């Protein structure tokens, strides 16, 4: 995976709450832009106007306002909107897309932690023709420490953060399980390191895959 201007790739960043995904996204984008690449940094749920409107429904309000199936349907609608308006056009012109969360988050939060049948998620991914990321960085960090970091940062956007400790433990375990199942696509990074060290390791992995 050579970071040359005309060789865009789809990179996703995954992990629990407060693991440093947005900091890594900015760091990778700066590095790739410095190499002359066209880079789009985006996030889910969000990244396009319709998806941003759906985001508010998902991350605000009472923890019990949606069940896992309802959440998965809303995330899938937001994802389709994001793919159509932002991700596919960027990849088509050769840009690098760095996306903070994607379908592995649905597998961790709605399937593993929320109890949704994995077959339902596979069907939704097929229905919206969700492309497989070229590379996924899984940032791993103890949920209690991550939640402490993220607390108060996203005012009013804490619907998932307010879920119980065992929910967040299942989220973490599933991200590690996904990475173990798909070692070609996924790289686990220890998010307990400094942000600079996490970025350095991510860049080394990117270069190793060129």
Residues that bind ligand TMP (CB under 6 A): 17, 43-45, 59, 75, 101, 105-106, 109-110, 154, 160
CB of 59 to ligand TMP, least distance (A): 5
CB of 5 to ligand TMP, least distance (A): 29
Taking the least distance from each CB to ligand TMP, the nearer of 17 and 174 is: 17
Q: Which residues pair with 136 in a beta bridge?
A: 12, 186
CB of 114 to ligand TMP, least distance (A): 8
- Residue 114 dihedral angles phi and psi, to the nearest 5°: -90, -10
Taking the least distance from each CB to ligand TMP, the nearer of 167 and 203 is: 167
CB of 76 to ligand TMP, least distance (A): 9
Integer Cα distance of 199 and 180 in angstroms: 21
**CA nearest to 129, candidates 85, 95, 84:** 84
Taking the least distance from each CB to ligand TMP, the nearer of 6 and 162 is: 162
Contact 137, 196 (CB under 8 A): no
**CA nearest to 79, candidates 113, 119, 121, 39:** 121
């Amino acid at each position: 995976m050579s970071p040359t201007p005309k060789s865009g790739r789809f990179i996703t960043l995954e992990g629990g709450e407060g693991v440093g995904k947005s900091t890594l996204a900015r760091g990778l984008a700066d590095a790739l832009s410095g190499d002359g690449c066209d880079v789009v940094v985006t996030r889910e749920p969000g990244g396009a106007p319709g998806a941003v409107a759906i985001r508010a429904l998902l991350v605000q309000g009472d923890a019990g306002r949606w069940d896992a199936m309802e959440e998965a349907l809303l995330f899938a609608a937001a994802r389709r909107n994001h793919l159509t308006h932002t991700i596919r056009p960027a990849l088509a012109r050769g840009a690098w897309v760095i996306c903070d969360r994607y379908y592995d988050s649905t597998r961790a939060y709605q399937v593993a932690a929320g109890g949704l049948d994995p077959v339902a998620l596979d069907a939704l991914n097929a229905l919206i023709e969700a492309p497989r990321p070229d590379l996924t960085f899984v940032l791993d960090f103890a949920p209690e420490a991550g939640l402490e970091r993220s607390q108060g940062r996203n005012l009013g956007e804490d619907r998932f953060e307010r879920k119980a400790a065992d929910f967040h433990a299942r989220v973490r375990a599933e991200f590690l399980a996904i990475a173990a199942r798909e070692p070609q696509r996924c790289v686990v990074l220890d998010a307990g390191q400094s942000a600079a060290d996490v970025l350095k390791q991510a860049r080394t992995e990117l270069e190793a895959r060129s």
